[in-house]
Amino acid sequence: MTATVNKNGLLAGKVAVITGASRGIGEAIALRYAQEGAKVVVSARTVEEGDHMLPGSINGVVKRINAAGGQAVAVRADLASHDDREQLIKAAEDAFGPVDILVNNAAITYFIPVDDFPEKRFKLMMEVQVYGPFHLAQLVLPKMRERKSGWILNISSHAALHPKLNAAGRGGTVYGMCKAALERFTTGLAAEAASDGIGVNVISPGLIATPGVLHHHLINESNKDMAVPVENMAEACLHLVHGDPAKNSGAITYADVVLREQKLTPAELIA
């Protein structure tokens, strides 16, 4: 059965901004939200195919959504740039109106041991993965509070969990720090925004063979059987941005947990 857009779906009429959406998890979330009727703002630095060494582009994702009968626009944004973050939200509002859903998925990652980690790269990772989501939330929260409605979803990683002392490391300490900070930000903001009907959640995907994961050689012979389809993550991320925020907020969760607890079957994505 071919995947289609349901304009009267779970997210009908909602405006969703997804960062890091040129490929991988962000792309899948953008497609899934569009299939449920959301007006999607697809953002990343890669505008056209070939602009990056990895496959995928925001224009390509937008073309797929619009060709299927959905509504989407592409907005280039470097999440390390304060001005780009402001321009992203302005462009979203100009295109579709106030943002109902913000998905902070963009990431930049370097796997380098602490001893050798350059200050410049440390600050860049913190800017993109911690302050960037914080700032974007600040930009959308006022209008969400005015409407007493909104959702913010942050994308984390199992790297946020504390490693065992005897676990062999591969330079992921800074990445884990960023994701742990993102998780604490999520629960704090969920508590602050609860009285205004705003849901805030954070989710980790598990092991998915995205272009970025393959680039960093994170799948190998020992763990390849644990890899799951990107559709699993997209479906779980859909669940975390609709419903009653009084019951569906403040979660630090995982895609497999959401699918199991909610008895969800991942939908096919737009081809």
Name the token pair of 218.
């994170």
Q: Which of 33, 110, 131, 175 is catalytic?
A: 175
**Pairing between strand 198-204 and 71-76?**
unpaired
Across 84-105, b (16+ Cβ under 10 Å) vs e yields: bbeebbebbbeebebbbbbbbb
CA distance 107 to 45: 11
CA distance 267 to 153: 19
CA distance 55 to 61: 11
CA distance 77 to 94: 15
Catalytic-residue membership of 175: yes
Q: Please give the radius of gyration of the chain, using alpha carbons only, rounded to the nearest integer.
A: 17
Burial class (CB in 10 A: 0-12, 13-18, 19+), 228: middle
- Is residue 73 a contact partner of residue 111, using CB atoms and an 8 Å limit? no
Place of tokens 């449920």: 36
Q: Name the 3-class secondary structure at 15.
A: strand
Residues labelled as active-site residues: 175
